[in-house]
Structure 1
Amino acid sequence: MAGSQSEPKQERAWRTRAHILQMAAELFAERGYATVTLQDVAERASMTKGAVYFHYKNKEALAVAVVHEHYVRWPLLLENVAARELPPYETLVTVLDRVAEAFRDDIVVQAGARLQIERSLIDADLPEPYVGWEDYLTGFVKEIEKAGDLRPGITPRGAARVIVAAFFGMQHISDVLSRRADLAERYGELRDVVLAGLRA
C-alpha cells in the first residue's frame, strides 16, 4: 500500500523536474548561461524559487542537467536510424539529417549546445563535447571505406573531424545570425559540399 501511495508522488516529482529543466533550457537557449537566474527559471516555470531549489541546488546543477539531457537525445536517434539498415553512406547522411532536425526543433538540444560553448562560465564538470561524435562518425566513414565508396586520399578520422567541425560550426553560426531560421538551408549546403565530397 505504501508503495502505491509513493508512486504518484515520485511521478509528480519527476514531472516537476522535467518541467523545470524544459523552462531552464528555453532560457539558456534564448539568453545564455550568464544572465539567467534561478528566479528567472522559477518565473518561467510558474513556480516559487524555493520549489526550484528543492529540485536543483543551484544554477550550475541545472545547467549540467540540461547538458546531460542534450546528450540523452542521441542514442535513441542513432538506434532509430540503424534500424533502417541503410547502406553506410546513406546511414551517415540520415543520421546527420536527424541531428540537424533536432538542432532546429528541440530546445533542449539547442540549450545544451549553447551551454557547451559557454562552458568556461559554468563552475561544474560538463561532458566533453564533440569527441564522442568524432569517434562515432569515424566508424561510419570506415564502413563507407569498406564499401568502396570513400574518395581516395580521405582518412576516416580526418573526415569525421571535418564533418563535426563543419556541422557544429554551421549550427552555431545559424543560431547567432538567425536563431536557426536558416539552419535547413545551411545544412543543405553542408550536405552538398562536405558529405557529397566524401564519395568516390
Structure 2
Amino acid sequence: MSTRARQKPAASDLKQERAIRTRALILDAAARAFADKGYPATTILDVAELMGATKGAVYFHFTNKNALAVAVTEEFYVRLRSAAQEVQEQGLAPLAAVTELLTRTGAMFRDDEVIRAGARLQIEQSLIDADLPTPFLGYTEIVTGLLRTAEAEGSLPAGSDPQALARVLVSAFFGAQHMSWVINNRADIADRVQEILAIVLPGAARA
C-alpha cells in the first residue's frame, strides 16, 4: 500500500468532519436568528434558511428549538471563558487584566453574534422549556480571582472586598451592555465599559 493510500482519511472521519462543520453552521445561524428576532419569534425554518439548508438538516443535529437555545447559550459561555483565559495568559497586572477582560467582553457583545444571542436568550429564559447554564457565576469568579490577586499585591484600596467589588463590576457591566443594546444597539458599549472602570475601579486605569 502506498504512503498516499495510507494517509487518505477514512470515510467515517470525513463524515464526522462534515457533521462538525454543519453543526457549527447551524449554531451560527441560530445565534443570528436569536440575536435578531428573539427566542419566541425564531423558527427552525428561519435557522435552516439562514444557513441555506433544509429543516431536516437542522433536526438531524438538534431535536428542537429548545436544544438549539441551550447549545447557543453554552457556546456563549465557552467564548466568555476563552476570552478570560486569553487575557490571563497575557501576564498582565491583575487590575490591567480586569480592564482588558471587561473591554474585550464589551467588544464581543458588540461584534459577536453568539455573544449577543446568548445575552438575549438569558433574558428570555423563562420562555425556553429547557435548563440554561446559570448566568454570571463563572465570569464573576474570574473577576474575583483577579481582584484577590490585586489585593494581595496591594493594588486595591485598604478594606476593599474583592468578592463584593467583583459582583458590583459584573452587575454594572451586564446592566450597561443591556442598556447599550436597548438604546444604541451596543454602538456605545466601549464608552460604557470605560465609565464603569473609571468609577468602580479607578485604579485599573493606572494599572
Please give the range of the TM-score, normalised by the shorter of the 2 chains.
over 0.9
Compute the displacement of 1:165 (Å).
Answer: 0.4
Letter in 2 for 1:47: A
Look up the match of 2:141.
Answer: 135
Q: Name which of 172, 183, 199 aligns with 1:177.
A: 183
1:156 aligns with 162
Aligned equivalent of 1:117, options 120, 123, 140: 123
Q: For structure 2, list consecutive stretches of 5 or more residues without a partner in the other structure.
A: 1-5
* Residue ranges of structure 1 left out of the alignment (5+ in a row): none
Displacement of 1:9: 1.2
Q: Aligned residue for 1:56?
A: 62
Q: Deviations over 1:50-101 (max 9, x none)?
A: 1111111100000000001111113322222222211111111111121112
**1:18 counterpart residue number:** 24
Determine whether 1:193 maps to 2:199: yes
3-state SS, counterpart of residue 124 of structure 1: coil
Q: After alignment, is 17-26 or 67-76 more displaced?
A: 67-76
Task: State the percentage of identical aligned residues.
Answer: 50
TM-score, normalised to structure 1, is 0.93
Q: Is the 8 A contact 1:116 1:129 kept in 2?
A: yes
Equivalent in the alignment of 1:40: 46
Q: CA RMSD in A?
A: 1.9
Q: Is the 8 A contact 1:93 1:195 kept in 2?
A: no
8 Å Cα contact 2:73-2:132 kept in structure 1: yes
Q: Tell me the secondary structure at the aligned position of residue 126 of structure 1.
A: coil
**Which amino acid is the alignment partner of residue 119 of structure 2?**
A
1:149–1:199 CA contact under 8 A, matched in 2: no
TM-score, L = length of structure 2:
0.90
CA deviations 1:25-60 (Å, max 9, x no partner) are 011111111111111111111111111111111000
Determine the C-alpha separation between the residues in 2 that align with 1:180 and 1:138: 26
How many residue pairs are counted as aligned between the two chains?
A: 200
Residue 186 of structure 1 deviates from its aligned partner by: 1.4
**Residues 199/105 of structure 1: CA separation in 2 closer, same or farther (3 Å cut):** closer
Deviation at 1:134, TM superposition (A): 1.9
CA contact 1:151–1:198 (8 Å) conserved in 2: no
Q: Whole-Å Cα distance in 2 between the matches of residues 191 and 100 of structure 1?
A: 12
